[in-house]
Amino acid sequence: MNSWTLSYDGFDPGEEGRREALCTLGNGYLATRGAAPESTADGVHYPGTYAAGVYNRLTDTVGGRTVENESLVNLPSWLPLTFAAEGGAWCEDAEGLDQRLELDMRRGVLVRRWRVRDAAGRTTAVTQRRFVHMRHEHLCGLQTTFTPENWSGRLLVRSSLDTMARNHGVARYGKLADTHLRPLSAELVGERCVLVVVATNQSQIRVAEAQRTRLFRAGAELDVPRETVREPSRLGHEFAVDVTAGEEVTVEKLVAVYTSRDRAISDPDTAALNRLAWCGDFDELLAEHELAWRQLWRRFRVSMRDAEPRALRTIRLHLFHLLQTMSGHTVDLDAGVPSRGLHGEAYRGHVLWDELFVFPIFNLRVPLLTRALLRYRHRRLPWARRAAWEAGHSGAMYPWQSGSDGREDSQRLHLNPASGRWIVDPTYLQRHVGLAVAYNVWQYYQVTGDREFLGEYGAEMIIEVARFFAGLAVYEHERDRYVIRGVMGPDEFHTGYPDAPERGVDNNAYTNLLTAWVLARALDVLRLLNEQSRAELTETLGLRPEEPERWDEISRRMFVPMHGPVISQFEGYERLAEFDWSGYRSRYGDIRRLDRILESEGDSPNRYQVSKQADVLMLLYLFSADELAEMFGRLGYELGPDTIDRTVDYYMRRTAHGSTLSAVVHAWVLARNHREQAVEYFLEALRSDIADVQRGTTAEGVHLAAMAGSVDVLQRCFAGLETRDDALWLNPYWPRELGTIEFDIRYREHSLTLRISGAGVQVSACVGHQPPIRLSCRGREVLLRPGETVEFPEPAP
Ligand code: BGC
């Protein structure tokens, strides 16, 4: 089995959505689902195309309430291409004999081979290759080669652009407004080109798509007559070409896409036409595209010689989709990390906290990209400040879901498909998203040592988040501790207490502990800045001397709920009813989305000790046991010897894994003491999308955080890579059954190659002139200089 290729044989309407999502091609600027070029959005196929950061808002009335939703916009499809033997049906209406779809991840090319037979028995073999260019981010290409097998005559080919598109990729949103585009123009330009221009109807983003279609036989361009195809929602060309049985004819369609958000252009229309006029042919572009992928894969290399090929292929698939959602092109885009990639319309393309799982992959390979993604957050401080102010606090309250400008865009009502009812959605109470932003800034700084970023942007974000959480924390005399009331933790099953649903819970351990941690980092940040920067920032933010004092106090007196040796998910979690897991499992089978099941029964997860996903256990994902002990110590608590184990055990028995993030976190927390189970969860995380474990959700977009997180389990958990205290730490819990892993990272301007196996760890630094770095493995610390290799053999059992 080839670990670089994902392939599907045959056609299965029930599987089509998932295949399209998994065969999406993209380059960080735009992405197009792997839909068949002749298909239309018909309930089976969904040829979606999305450009990073292109959002639009629409309003609806639901149950007498006005709701406004912002969505990543589905752009006119650039794919349409169909053919027929003259007098016969167009291929979409003819008989498809066999089809093989191959996603070549090494080259970033989707190959489709199939045969089509019309009613007259004329059979044509077809091979299609397509790319979304990884170097020239505005260019997409589709090359189709036809071979008539048993007939000679006229072949008709239609190549067009859609002139309109709607967002209807998610059935649950089906009753809501879906028309984001306004057609502006659709014209033929010169002999070969078509230009389609649309604009989003609220955000006023202009989008231009230009196409050029050419025909070739034996490498020579054919000058055949072309007719205009003008349909209500299509504009293109139709060609008629004489073909002979057994002889190939090739049609090459190149498309350029620009939007008014782009830089270095005058207007999108001219830019698209010029780009097309200046670019080479399909094969030349393909060669450059493949080179760009070769270089990317070099940087994101993960080699596991003895790994099970299926697992390795999925790891590659996960990296592949990550690199297609965010790439070097993102750096100039002002775009965030959409939780479902640029692959579908779930969560409306919103940005949530998922970047917490994504950044570690980029921090260690393309820190410039993380920096850009953090700048996206920095630019949205005005909305976050406004939100904090409206909530009665200072600082910045980052939104749970957002897109264009950083305002809160979480839906206030959602449809439960299990009951058909619209339900109040209070998930915006997940204030912890701001803590994740601050955590990410700190991690970026730890990996890169980039003080310039910290001084210019990072410190401001950490301090503003700290300020907000310091405001949220209230001192309670009886306890002599600070508490945070009325928030939601990562577990979305608990929106409140049974008698007060939708008002949040009190003292979510994850939120409280991270608050204490962020406040301590805010103090560190102030110490790290030089005197001038500190004075300037203090002045700009109007920071009062008593504020850092208060942060210090809260960071030492925050309340952490416990019951016995177990950290409570929130205050009172342990007093909720126990849930009948086996009863529900036998009744429903799949009970990952217990929230939907219970609501449809008129019940609510708020009544039970059930968690959708890792919540308390997130702490063990973000911090090592030593760090957690230190955090508890600072708070004046003792982390008992069995607290971690008992806590893990407690929540393992109460978690439904209704989010794909859960398996990632469980693999992580089990790695230390329960390797076999950890590997099981790791394999489950790998199955998230390729097996569509959430049944139907992959078709609506991939689970980017689970994709990144599963790769991160290898590097930071099993391989035990940590970046803290200005040093690189390696404390592997490497499962021997995974063989040997080799991967490359960048740390403080060094390029390092790490090799980890059951036998030990080897780190090599690339030749260069950087100052040495501190490297610590299982208590042994060394200085590693450019060009050196150091080995840490596994201690004897
Ligand atoms: C999870 C969230 C996550 C979101 C998007 C939800 O199911 O509960 O934690 O941010 O999916 O991935």
**CATH number for the domain harbouring residue 786:** 2.60.420.10
Give pLDDT, residue 685.
97
The secondary structure element, H or E, covering residue 127 is: strand 123-132
The answer to whether position 251 is within a domain reads yes
Provide φ and ψ at 404, rounded to 5°: -70, -55
Distance in angstroms (rounded) separating the CA atoms of residues 282 and 743: 33
Q: How many degrees, rounded to 5, is the angle at CA 703 between CA 137 and CA 710? A: 100
Choose which residue among 172, 339, 508 to substitute to test ligand 1 binding: the one with the highest number of ligand atoms within 8 A of its C-beta.
339
The answer to whether position 628 is within a domain reads no
Distance 712 CA to ligand 1 centre (A): 18
pLDDT over threshold 90, residue 218: yes
Please choose, from the candidates 243, 229, 218, 88, the residue with its C-alpha nearest in 3D space to the C-alpha of residue 159. 229
Distance 320 CA to ligand 1 centre (A): 21
- CB atoms under 10 Å from CB of 521, counted, come to 23
The answer to whether position 601 is within a domain reads no
Q: Which residue, 298, 318, 350, sits at the end of a domain?
A: 298
Q: Partners of 422 in the beta sheet?
A: 415
Distance 659 CA to ligand 1 centre (A): 6
Range name among 228-232, 294-298, 336-340, 703-707 with the lowest pLDDT average: 228-232
Give pLDDT, residue 725.
87
Give pLDDT, residue 794.
85
Distance 699 CA to ligand 1 centre (A): 16
Average pLDDT over residues 518-547: 96
Which residue, judged by its Cα, is nearest atom 9 of ligand 1? 490
CB-CB contact of 723 with 715 (8 Å): no
CB-CB contact of 46 with 169 (8 Å): yes
Which residue, judged by its Cα, is nearest atom 11 of ligand 1? 659
Both tokens assigned to 671: 């790695």
Q: Is the CB of 661 under 6 A from ligand 1?
A: yes
Q: Is the CB of 692 under 6 A from ligand 1?
A: no
Average pLDDT over residues 643-657: 97
Average pLDDT over residues 490-502: 96
Q: Is the CB of 354 under 6 A from ligand 1?
A: yes
Give pLDDT, residue 191.
86
- State the catalytic residues: 492
Shortest-distance atom of ligand 1 to CA 612 = 8
Q: Is the CB of 613 under 6 A from ligand 1?
A: yes
The answer to whether position 481 is within a domain reads no
pTM across the whole model: 0.97
Average pLDDT over residues 479-488: 98
The answer to whether position 243 is within a domain reads yes
CB-CB contact of 143 with 252 (8 Å): yes
Q: Which residue, 272, 298, 324, sits at the end of a domain?
A: 298
Distance 113 CA to ligand 1 centre (A): 36
The answer to whether position 3 is within a domain reads no
Provide φ and ψ at 330, rounded to 5°: -70, -25
- Per-residue pLDDT of 552-578, as tens digits, reads 999 999 999 999 999 999 999 999 999
Mean pLDDT over each residue of the chain, to the nearest integer: 96
- Per-residue pLDDT of 660-686, as tens digits, reads 999 999 999 999 889 999 999 999 999
Give pLDDT, residue 630.
96
pLDDT over threshold 80, residue 267: yes
Give me the percent of the chain exceeding a pLDDT of 70. Answer: 100
pLDDT over threshold 90, residue 750: yes
**Domain residue limits at 207:** 54-298
Choose which residue among 354, 411, 429, 430 to substitute to test ligand 1 binding: the one with the highest number of ligand atoms within 8 A of its C-beta.
354
Shortest-distance atom of ligand 1 to CA 703 = 12
Shortest-distance atom of ligand 1 to CA 659 = 7
Give pLDDT, residue 305.
85
Label residues 594-622 b or e (16+ Cβ within 10 Å = b): bbbbbbeeeebbbbbbbbbbbbbbbbbbb
pLDDT band for position 63 (cuts 50, 70, 90): confident
- Number of independent structural domains in the chain: 2
Give pLDDT, residue 62.
86
CB-CB contact of 718 with 675 (8 Å): no
| SS3 (DSSP) at 667 | helix
Which residue, judged by its Cα, is nearest atom 6 of ligand 1? 659
CB-CB contact of 554 with 473 (8 Å): yes
The answer to whether position 208 is within a domain reads yes
Choose which residue among 661, 664, 665 to substitute to test ligand 1 binding: the one with the highest number of ligand atoms within 8 A of its C-beta.
661
Q: Is the CB of 341 under 6 A from ligand 1?
A: no
Average pLDDT over residues 589-600: 96
**CATH number for the domain harbouring residue 151:** 2.70.98.40
Which residue, judged by its Cα, is nearest atom 12 of ligand 1? 339
- Per-residue pLDDT of 602-615, as tens digits, reads 999 999 999 999 99
Distance 11 CA to ligand 1 centre (A): 31
The answer to whether position 441 is within a domain reads no
Shortest-distance atom of ligand 1 to CA 353 = 10
- Per-residue pLDDT of 151-168, as tens digits, reads 999 999 999 999 999 999
Which residue, judged by its Cα, is nearest atom 1 of ligand 1? 659
Q: Which residue, 239, 269, 298, sits at the end of a domain?
A: 298
Average pLDDT over residues 167-188: 95
Shortest-distance atom of ligand 1 to CA 347 = 5
Which residue, judged by its Cα, is nearest atom 8 of ligand 1? 659
pLDDT over threshold 80, residue 797: no
Average pLDDT over residues 759-787: 94
pLDDT band for position 64 (cuts 50, 70, 90): confident
Q: What is the DSSP string of 564-584?
A: TTEEPSSTTGGGSBPP-HHHH
pLDDT band for position 362 (cuts 50, 70, 90): very high
Give pLDDT, residue 313.
96
